[in-house]
């Protein structure tokens, strides 16, 4: 059986790799748990920033299994999100950042007229298609303790005390004021902030 490909999406801004320690930790954790490999890769030695990458944000997509499969680069273009559709899947598993996103893409096809989806698994809030989320209540931001994939930006925000984990069910959503969407390419400062009423 062939090994599943995994990948890291890494933000490079001002020709500097962002949150490299968090990406490296997740990559090496994945290599150990999925492939039984315990040597440590150093991303600073693996990633060489091409000359065409300027100071604007770029996405470095590094695909790997036991070895590097490919590294691709593209300028990052932010998505515009105005409306979010709840979708449901109690069996979806994306505990590692798999290259195969078929199940996630199938859920995204259920968005109808919305720009984004919010995945509900076993009654609990998880993630959107590409982002972890946080909800605002009484001036504090809470992120679900049931993400499909704990992102690197999420780990950084938790370590920084900017967000905190909480059990958030589908029924809890309306008790919050706003939702914020973030990931490796979308910093907390640049994250989309929407009223929870746009979640349908």
The full set of domain ranges for the chain reads 6-75, 84-198
Cα–Cα nearest to 106, from 96, 94, 124, 123: 94
Please report how many Cα atoms fall inside a 13 Å half-sphere around the Cα of residue 108, on the Cβ side. 12
Q: Which CATH class is domain 84-198?
A: alpha beta
Percentage of the chain modeled with pLDDT above 70:
100
Kindly report the pTM of this predicted structure.
Answer: 0.95
Structure tokens at 142: 């809470």
End-to-end CA distance of the chain: 41
Structure tokens at 137: 């209540």
By CB atoms closer than 10 A (0-12, 13-18, 19+), residue 99 is middle
Mean pLDDT value across residues 144-160: 98
Question: Does this chain's domain 6-75 share its CATH topology with 84-198?
Answer: no
β-bridge partners, 61: 9, 72
For the segment 22-72, what is each residue's pLDDT rounded down to a tens digit? 999 999 999 999 999 999 999 999 999 999 999 999 999 999 999 999 999
- pLDDT at residue 200, as a whole number: 96
Residue 144: pLDDT band (50, 70, 90) is: very high
CATH no. of 6-75: 3.30.470.10
CA 61 and chain centroid, separation? 13
Report whether 4 contacts 180 (CB < 8 A): no
Edge-to-edge strands of the sheet including 132-137?
164-166, 140-144, 132-137, 178-182, 192-195
Exposure string for 124-150, b = 16+ CB within 10 A, e = fewer: bbbbbbbbbbbbbeeeebbbbebbbbe
pLDDT digits (tens, 9 = 90+) for 82-109: 999 999 999 999 999 999 999 999 999 9
Phi, psi torsion values for 112, nearest 5 degrees: 55, -120
């Amino acid at each position: 059986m062939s090994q599943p490909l995994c990948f890291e999406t890494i933000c490079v801004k001002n020709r500097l790799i962002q949150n490299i320690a968090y990406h490296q930790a997740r990559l090496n954790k994945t290599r150990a748990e999925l492939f039984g490999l315990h040597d440590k890769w150093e991303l600073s030695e693996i990633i060489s920033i091409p000359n065409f990458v300027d100071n604007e944000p770029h996405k470095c997509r590094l695909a790997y299994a036991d070895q590097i499969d490919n590294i691709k680069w593209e300028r990052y273009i932010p998505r515009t999100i105005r409306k979010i559709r709840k979708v449901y899947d109690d069996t979806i598993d994306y505990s590692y950042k798999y290259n195969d996103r078929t199940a996630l893409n199938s859920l995204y096809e259920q968005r109808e007229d919305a720009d984004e989806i919010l995945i509900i698994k076993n009654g609990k809030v998880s993630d959107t298609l590409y982002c972890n989320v946080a909800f605002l209540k009484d001036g504090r931001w809470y992120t679900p303790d049931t993400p499909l994939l704990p992102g690197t930006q999420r780990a950084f925000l938790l370590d920084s005390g900017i967000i905190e984990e909480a059990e958030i069910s589908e029924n809890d959503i309306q008790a919050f004021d706003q939702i914020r969407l973030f990931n490796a390419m979308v910093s907390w400062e640049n994250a989309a902030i929407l009223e929870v009423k746009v979640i349908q």
